Amino acid sequence: MSGEPNPPAPFPEREGGEEQSEGTGGNAARGELRASAPPSLRGKGDGGLGSSLHAVALVVFLGLWTWKLIEPTPVPESLSKRLGDRARFVAAKGLHAGGYCFLTVLAVALPVPTRWRWRLAGLLALHGVATEIGQTYVPGRFGSARDVFIDWVGVGLGVLMWQLWSRRAAARAERQF
């Protein structure tokens, strides 16, 4: 063991280079993996307890994030008073981008077909819009188009991280073979 966490496996492909469709049977499709897929990647992401915990973690973190974004005072006043205006602004906007980046990486690393990963990233982008609209109904809060843009930057960074991680994993798998 190298001590590195296992990177997300690229979605298995069928012979002929076509992406596996959602409707194909599990065992039959896994038996048709291209020969270039190393044995270490075969069977990864087929569900199980790890996938369930991953999905639960995404739902829990998304729920907590939504709650904090819509809460009247998301940052305790004692902490907020210690930060200057500039530091509070940078921290808040950094949390917006970082939170959505984290949630996006968590979502797109789920063992689902690629098209669902893109849909999940899109839903997170819409979540950013929805929470900003929701903030307009919370006393003392207001929605901001700037925050939506920052949320989208976070989603974009998460997708970029996933793409780079997937390509690196595929290149490493090719070298091992």
Return the domain boundaries, the chain: 47-176
The span from the CA of 79 to the CA of 69, in Å, is: 17
**Which two three-digit tokens encode residue 73?**
């005072």
pLDDT value at residue 8: 57
Residues 22 and 29: their CA atoms lie apart, in Å, by 10
For residue 154, count CB atoms less than 10 angstroms from its CB and return exposed for 0-12, middle for 13-18, buried for 19 or more.
Answer: buried
How much is the pLDDT for 41?
Answer: 35
Mean pLDDT by 10 residues, the chain (177 residues): 54 44 44 38 54 91 93 80 85 92 94 92 96 93 93 96 90 84
Question: Is 170 exposed, middle or buried (CB count within 10 Å of its CB: 0-12, 13-18, 19+)?
Answer: middle
